[in-house]
Amino acid sequence: MQLWKGRFSKELDSITNDFNSSIPFDMRMFEEDITGSVAHANMLGTCEIISWEESVKLQDGLREILEDIKSGALEIDRTAEDIHTFVEGELTKRLGDTGKRLHTARSRNDQVALDIRLYLKNRSKELKTLLKKLVFTLCTIADENADAVMPGYTHMQRAQPITFGHHIMAYVQMLLRDISRLDDCVKRMDFSPLGSCALAGTTYKLDRERVAYLLDMSGVTENSLDGVSDRDFCIEIASCLSIIMVHLSRFSEEVILWCSWEFRFIELDDAFSTGSSIMPQKKNPDIAELVRGKSGRVFGSLMTLLTVMKGLPLAYNKDMQEDKEAVFDALDTVFACLTAFIPMVETMKINRKSMRDAAARGFINATDCADYLVYKGMPFRDAYKITGEIIAYCIESKKTLETMEINDYKGFSELFDNDIFDAVSLDVCIKNRTVYGGPAPENVKKSAGKALDLIGE
Residues marked active site are found at 155, 276
What angle is formed at CA 349 by the lines to CA 450 and CA 340, rounded to 5 degrees?
Answer: 75
Q: Contact, 339 vs 129, CB < 8 A?
A: no
113/211 Cα distance (integer angstroms): 14
Q: Contact, 434 vs 166, CB < 8 A?
A: no
Neighbours of 142 (CB within 10 A): 25
Q: Report the DSSP beta bridge partners of residue 149.
A: 163
Which residues have CB under 8 Å from 417's CB, separation 6+? Answer: 406
Rg (CA), the chain: 30
Q: Which of 103, 127, 118 has its CA nearest to residue 32?
A: 118
3 state SS of 274:
strand
- The length of the chain, given as a count of residues: 457
261/247 Cα distance (integer angstroms): 24
166/135 Cα distance (integer angstroms): 14
End-to-end CA distance of the chain: 50
Give the per-residue SS3 of 67-97.
HHHHHCCCCCCCCCCCHHHHHHHHHHHHHHH
**Strands (E) located in 302-401:** 349-350
By 3-state DSSP, what share of the chain in percent is helix, strand and coil, each rounded to 5?
65, 5, 30
Neighbours of 72 (CB within 10 A): 7
82/97 Cα distance (integer angstroms): 21
Using alpha carbons, list the distances in angstroms from residue 92 to 66, 97, 108, 117.
14, 7, 17, 26
| DSSP string for residues in 123-161 | HHHHHHHHHHHHHHHHHHHHHHTTT-EEEEEETTEEEEE
161/242 Cα distance (integer angstroms): 31
